[in-house]
Amino acid sequence: GAVVSQHPSWVICKSGTSVKIECRSLDFQATTMFWYRQFPKQSLMLMATSNEGSKATYEQGVEKDKFLINHASLTLSTLTVTSAHPEDSSFYICSARDGTVATNEKLFFGSGTQLSVL
Amino acid sequence: GENVEQHPSTLSVQEGDSAVIKCTYSDSASNYFPWYKQELGKRPQLIIDIRSNVGEKKDQRIAVTLNKTAKHFSLHITETQPEDSAVYFCAASNTNSGYSTLTFGKGTMLLVSP
């Protein structure tokens, strides 16, 4: 299946700093990528949908100025957590669809990023 | 929007037994239903999916059934093995609605005891 690479796998930062997470589709073009947040023992909560070449669409309750998303190419989307605070500590995971296949609904996930804000 | 309910939240079985996880969805327009397996600290892996034009799909020890009228779908794992232990998520989406976001259930932690 398609491979989605996500980096870093874990990051520890001080409160008030910004953290950038990268999500790459390695062997396919992803016109759309999705960013999720997952708390321990909980489900995947969609944060935003990242569309190549346009502004991201954020879910209700997600601050777009705090979670900056850039999808500048067909293989790369980034999520930047700005001015991180301890409550932002979580597992962030991206997913992507193969945009070259019109009927392909399958989503492939990155390996996730565990963010710990001190 | 779509709402997906998943039961049970935890499921313990003995090795060799069958395991069944059930999900219901609210949006009758949803037409794609994947199941993901997530091991601790790992990415969710797609294990099987079904589309609304099919009532059942099987892949070795894993099967999924769909009842569109009742708006529920189930995952069946036969001859369970310890390596099946993980959290399983069901999801639903309407692939006719543009970029087809997935709505996930809350997950089922499956524990298979040797």
Tally Cβ neighbours within 10 Å of residue A90.
20
Note every long-range contact of B42-49, with CB atoms under 8 Å and residues 24 or more positions apart, other chains counting: B42/A111, B42/A112, B43/A4, B43/A6, B43/A93, B43/A109, B43/A110, B43/A111, B43/A112, B44/A44, B44/A93, B44/A109, B44/B89, B45/A109, B46/A1, B46/A106, B46/A107, B46/A108, B47/B88, B48/B75, B49/A105, B49/A106
Q: Please judge whether B43 and A49 are an interchain contact, meaning their C-beta atoms are less than 8 angstroms apart.
A: no
Q: Please judge whether A51 and B45 are an interchain contact, meaning their C-beta atoms are less than 8 angstroms apart.
A: no
Structure tokens at B16: 């060799």
Beta strands at A19-25 and A57-58: parallel, antiparallel or unpaired: unpaired
Q: What is the pLDDT of residue A102?
A: 60
Considering only residues A72 and A4, tell me which one the structure prediction assigns the higher pLDDT.
Answer: A4
Cβ distance A111 to A92 under 8 Å? no
For residue B97, pLDDT beyond 70: no
Q: What is the mean pLDDT of residues B34-46?
A: 92
Q: What is the mean pLDDT of residues B23-38?
A: 95
Q: For residue A39, which residues of chain B lie inside 8 Å, CB to CB?
A: none
Q: How far is B13 from chain A (nearest CA, A)?
A: 19
Task: From A118, A111, A82, select the one nearest A10 (Cα to Cα).
Answer: A111
Considering only residues B97 and A94, tell me which one the structure prediction assigns the higher pLDDT.
Answer: A94
Q: For residue B94, which residues of chain A lie inside 8 Å, CB to CB?
A: none
Say if B106 is an interface residue toward chain A (CB within 8 Å): yes
Q: How far is A28 from chain B (nearest CA, A)?
A: 17
B86 to A4, A59, A62, B36, B46: CA distances (angstroms): 21, 28, 29, 10, 13
Q: Please judge whether A114 and B34 are an interchain contact, meaning their C-beta atoms are less than 8 angstroms apart.
A: no
Q: What is the mean pLDDT of residues B11-25?
A: 97
Q: What is the pLDDT of residue A55?
A: 87
Q: What is the mean pLDDT of residues B47-70?
A: 95
Cβ distance A74 to A2 under 8 Å? no
pLDDT band, residue B98 (cuts 50/70/90): low
Q: Supply the mean pLDDT for chain A.
A: 90
Q: For residue B102, which residues of chain A lie inside 8 Å, CB to CB?
A: 34, 46, 107
Task: Kindly state the percentage of chain A with pLDDT values over 70.
Answer: 94
Q: How far is B53 from chain A (nearest CA, A)?
A: 14
Which range has the worst mean pLDDT, A12-26, A100-114, B1-15? A100-114
Please write the tens of the pLDDT for every residue from A79-115: 999 999 999 999 999 999 877 666 567 888 999 999 9
Q: What is the pLDDT of residue A2?
A: 78
Q: How far is A99 from chain B (nearest CA, A)?
A: 10
Say if B109 is an interface residue toward chain A (CB within 8 Å): yes
